A = this chain, B = another copy of it.
Amino acid sequence: MAKPIPDIVVGRLPIYLRALSFLAAEGTQVTSSHDLGKRLGISAAQIRKDLSFFGEFGKQGTGYNVGYLREQLLRILKVDREWPIALIGVGDLGRALAHYGGFVDRGFRIVALFDNDPAKIGQTIGDLEIMSIDRLAEVAQERGIRAVMLTVPAKAAQKVAEACVAAGVKAILNYAPITLKVPDGALVQHTDPVTHLQRMTYYL
């Protein structure tokens, strides 16, 4: 049986993928663990070790083919397809994410917007109408939504997260400044500007 792959390794793959997409867009065809590492602030040895969990992607001395390695990472991360996602909570941050142009060519498309504010429900952003959060279960099922971005206030986040899981959502990207508890089988990633800043002040 294959060894399970450490989550921390999985967490670095999207970073490698982003760098490879950047190189591909620049027209670069070949790279190396050394080049990637320099670009990302990760050691070349770490990159080689991480990738070795998933196969043999380069040859000693000739480096990696950017297009091929990128395609393999798209496949491994399952973003060689398009995931329909919902955005829950259309405040400033929700609005910013709704306008963010970086989803579509990286495996995701926002297909539903939810809020609980009657003044917002019925408004549109782009070609999406903001819907009542009461419709979450119905719409998630209808549109095959398994991942959401949660941009509701902290005090509402736990309740909304539970409603998401009950609606069949398996992955929650949580922007609310609170630690969510979800049942086993559901995933939460927390994103928070302060943790990123604190990681840097350590070095200052």
Contacts and interface: CB of A to CB of B under 8 A. Distances in A.
Contact of A199 (B96, B189, B194): B189
Nearest to A151: B96
Given A108-B194, A193-B100, A193-B149, A10 B173 contact: no
Nearest to A171: B200
Contact of A91 (B91, B96, B177): B96
Interface string A1-37: 0000001101101110111001000000000000000
Interface residues of A, number: 60
A92 B96 contact: yes
B189 A191 contact: no
Interface stretch (A61-69, A74-82, A112-120, A130-138): A74-82
A202 B76 contact: yes
Contacts of A171: 197, 200-201, 203-204
The copy count of this chain in the complex is 2
Contacts of A83: 197, 201
A39 B188 CA distance: 11
A8 B8 contact: yes
Contacts of A51: none
Given A108-B194, A149-B193, A191-B191, A10 B199 contact: yes
A198 interface: yes
A198 B39 contact: no
A98 to B, nearest CB: 8
A147 interface: yes
Interface in A135-193: 146-147, 149, 170-171, 173, 177-179, 187, 189-193
A197 B95 contact: no
A15 B195 contact: yes
A88 interface: no
